[in-house]
């Protein structure tokens, strides 16, 4: 079966992009990266992509400052010229309009460092610590026009530990992100995802009944 051709949009170092690259290197992984595209010419992730032998492109958003639709039309044109069928956002720091999201509907996913719908937006780790939550995490979801919104595909919960600061918590969440994003892409490439009534259903997913409790129950 032909592999799903994926485009990755980045603006910076591309940490989650690297996790996707490593997953796609595996011979049996059902997707391949056709293009990594950045809106920032100096994005560190571009060098890492070139080292991996993957095609790259740059589309600077600045010349389109007063015309977001034109920028997004150009984005789509570059992606489709490369044969991209499915798009992953990996630290792409531009808000996308409804027109772009609709064009790629259910073929556009993002990863966010919180257990959505909690802590949409920025500074998620700081806000989680301030709220005193016992569990934090990450979410891979289909993209919708509203910020950090859309049917949830994969989530991972990590404990918030005593003595955590933003850096420690962020590192723990990032490790979970690097596991969740390739899993979500694999499910999509295997055509196991269905969106019904804005909920994502996963064909053949095993039931997960174990609970993660923090702090763990005391013995005795």
Contacts of 111 (CB under 8 A, 6+ apart): 16, 89, 90, 138, 139, 140, 177, 180, 181, 184
Told to judge if 112 belongs to the known catalytic residues of this protein, a careful annotator would answer: yes
Alpha-carbon distance 185 to 183, whole Å? 5
Residue 86: closest CA among 186, 13, 179, 1: 186
Say how far apart CA 144 and CA 89 lie, in whole Å: 12
Structure tokens at 72: 């997004």
Helix (H), strand (E) at residue 101: helix 98-103
Residue 202's SS3 state is strand
Opening angle at CA 97, ends 111 and 157, nearest 5? 15
Distance between CA atoms of 38 and 44, rounded to whole angstroms?
Answer: 10
Please tell me which residue in 112, 125, 136, 141 is annotated as part of the active site.
112
Residues annotated as part of the active site: 112
């Amino acid at each position: 079966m032909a592999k799903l051709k994926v485009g990755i949009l980045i603006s910076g170092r591309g940490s989650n992009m690297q996790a996707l690259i490593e997953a796609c290197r595996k011979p049996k992984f059902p997707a391949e990266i056709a293009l990594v595209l950045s809106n920032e010419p100096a994005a560190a992730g571009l060098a890492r992509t070139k080292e991996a032998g993957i095609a790259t492109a740059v589309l600077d958003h600045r010349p389109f400052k007063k015309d977001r639709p034109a920028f997004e039309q150009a984005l789509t044109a570059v992606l489709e010229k490369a044969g991209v069928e499915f798009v992953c956002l990996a630290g792409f720091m531009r808000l996308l309009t409804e027109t772009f999201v609709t064009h790629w509907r259910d073929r556009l996913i993002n990863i966010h460092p919180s257990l959505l719908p909690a802590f949409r937006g920025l500074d998620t780790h700081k806000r989680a610590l301030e709220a005193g939550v016992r569990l934090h995490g990450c979410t891979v979801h289909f993209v919708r026009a509203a910020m950090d919104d859309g049917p949830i595909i994969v989530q991972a919960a990590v404990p918030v530990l005593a003595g955590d600061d933003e850096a420690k918590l962020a590192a723990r969440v990032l490790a979970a992100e690097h596991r969740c994003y390739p899993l979500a892409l694999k499910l999509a490439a295997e055509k196991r995802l269905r969106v019904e009534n804005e909920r994502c259903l996963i064909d053949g997913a095993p039931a997960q009944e174990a609970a993660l409790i923090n702090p763990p129950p005391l013995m005795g």
